[in-house]
Amino acid sequence: MSDPDVLPPQPDHAGEAHDQADTAGRPAGRGPRFESILALLLVAAIGGGGLFVSGFMLGRLNGATPGTGDEQQELFRPFWDAYNDVSTRYVGEVDQHALIEGAIKGIFQALNDPFSAYMTEEEYRASLSGISGEFEGIGLSMATVEENGDPCETVSATCRLIAQGVIRNSPALEAGFLEGDIVLAVDGESTIGQTLTAVVDKVRGPKGTSVVLTIERAGGPPQDISVTRDVIVREDVRSEAIANGHVGYIKVDGFSSGSAADLRAQVQALLEEDGVEALVLDLRDDPGGYVDAAQKIGSEFVGTGPLYWEQAAGTDPVPQQPTAGGVATDPAVPMAVLVNGGTASASEIVAGALQGSGRAFLVGETTYGKGTIQEFKELPGSGGYRLSVRKWLTPDQTWIHGVGLIPDIAVLAPADPATGGDPILDRAVEELLSRLAQPVVGLAA
């Protein structure tokens, strides 16, 4: 995304800057409609290409344009001359709405910032939805793979559409779907010849409506499963005990609206298990999300000192302090954070907070390097935009934008993860177990 951090959906959001990041919006049909402004500050890695078009459009056609001061009238005169000519003299058909959208896109294009961009109404809603981690569907994760396990694009006799996983507490789980099920049809329409995206669009739909999936399981005969759609909360956090139960492993895939509470519960459960003495937080390939999710997650591990700093245009940096009551702030429980080039935005805020405070050491590869926070704002009738409105800095006020965080222990990922194992995780566990074996120096009373 790299619209790393987003603020919680107040009517002020901060795009991948504020507290969100993959699609930060309410699914259609839920809650009140957004009014003129939706501000979401989020931090997530979002690319910018393809949305930009040249042109500028501000105010109305005549000299006294709303929002344009007298000192700027001359500056905008060339624009209005061009706009008037296009509107009144162009020999072809003129779509005024398209002109306005193109002009707004041009404003953002001129910033040369891949994290600031204009979006159509559909793109805006989809972006907000991805950041929030909520959507309306059945909770079945699917993928297209060849019989040998290689990825493929269009479903065919050899390219199968399979269920990769079933989200906890979802309609799909309640209906009895299992990992490995082959999806043959949706509402009686064969999946053959369709892409994964096309099938997913058919399976998703408004809460309360039903969809029938025809599946094949373990070579058995086709069977129909009817399931009622609901609001699905994406699972961004998973955990387990590894290294013979000595190390708690937590993987975070995104900083959506529910990720902080989910992480807290899972870390607490790990620490209550017999034998867990250290923690690994895996932020590899995590593009970020809501800024407030990053603040909450960082607070589970860091108890004092600024987690990070925020700086708006023309102002001094402001420290962002951890929230009291973190479940894993005890330094007696050593921590490692796994990072790579896909660790971006909100996930970099957390990694930087743990590294900068000395709470954890980083293992892996240099991170993405996204040091800005975006605000999402709706333009009624014309989509919306995301705009970089703040910088975030590490605890020692370093701006890592374009540079990234440097791991304390550098380990390269294997060229072929399928056969090369996980040397980054292995090295982190090795270091943690080594530190656990060292005697603790204390004071005699």
Counting Cα atoms < 13 Å in the Cβ hemisphere of 196 gives: 16
Task: For the chain, give the mean pLDDT.
Answer: 83
Residue-wise pLDDT tens digits, 194-221 = 999 899 989 999 999 999 999 999 889 9
pLDDT confidence of residue 68: 61
Note the pLDDT of residue 322: 97
Q: 220 burial class (0-12, 13-18, 19+ CB within 10 angstroms)?
A: exposed
* Predicted confidence (pLDDT) per residue in 54-98, tens digit: 222 222 233 344 556 667 788 888 888 988 899 999 999 999 888
Average pLDDT over residues 386-406: 97
Question: Pairing state of beta strands 182-186 and 210-216?
Answer: antiparallel
Check residue 3 and give its pLDDT: 40
pLDDT in tens, 234-282: 889 999 999 999 999 999 999 998 899 999 999 999 999 999 999 999 9
Show the beta-strand stretches assigned E in 192-334. 210-216, 223-228, 230-233, 237-242, 247-252, 278-282, 288-290, 308-312, 318-320
Give the residues across from 390 on adjacent strands.
312, 373
pLDDT for 415 equals 81
What pLDDT sits at residue 69? 66
Residues in contact with 129: Cβ distance below 8 Å, sequence separation at least 6, in sequence order: 22, 23, 24, 25, 27, 135
User: Model confidence over 309-365: pLDDT tens digits?
Assistant: 999 999 999 999 999 999 999 999 999 999 999 999 999 999 999 999 999 999 999
Instruction: Give the Å distances, CA to CA, from 88 to 28, 91, 93.
Output: 39, 9, 10
Percent with pLDDT over 70 in the chain: 82
375 confidence band (pLDDT: 50, 70, 90): very high
Rounded CA Rg of the chain: 25
Question: Residue 187, Cβ neighbours under 10 Å: how many?
Answer: 13
Give the percent of the chain with pLDDT over 90.
64
In angstroms, the CA 150 to CA 333 distance is 40
Grade residue 444 by pLDDT with cuts at 50, 70 and 90. very low
Strand partners, 159: 146
- List, as one string, the DSSP characters of 363-389: EES------EEEEEEE-TTS-EEEEEE
Between 80 and 394, where is the model more confident?
394
Given a cut of 70, whether residue 22 has pLDDT beyond it is no
Note whether 119 and 134 are within 8 A (CB): no
Grouping H, G, I as helix, E, B as strand and the rest as coil, residue 53 is coil
Interval 127-159: pLDDT, tens: 887 777 788 899 998 999 998 888 898 999 999
pLDDT at 183 over 90: yes
Q: Are 9 and 290 in contact (CB under 8 A)?
A: no
Backbone angles phi, psi at 22, to 5 degrees: -80, -45
Q: Is the pLDDT of residue 416 over 90?
A: no
Averaged pLDDT for residues 18-31: 34
The CA-atom distances, in angstroms, between 60 and each of 71, 100, 112, 265, 404 are 17, 11, 25, 53, 43
- Residue 33 above 60 pLDDT? no
Statement: residue 11 has pLDDT above 80: no
- Whether the predicted pLDDT of 49 surpasses 90: no
The pLDDT, as a whole number, for residue 67 is 53
393 in Cβ contact with 399 (< 8 Å)? yes
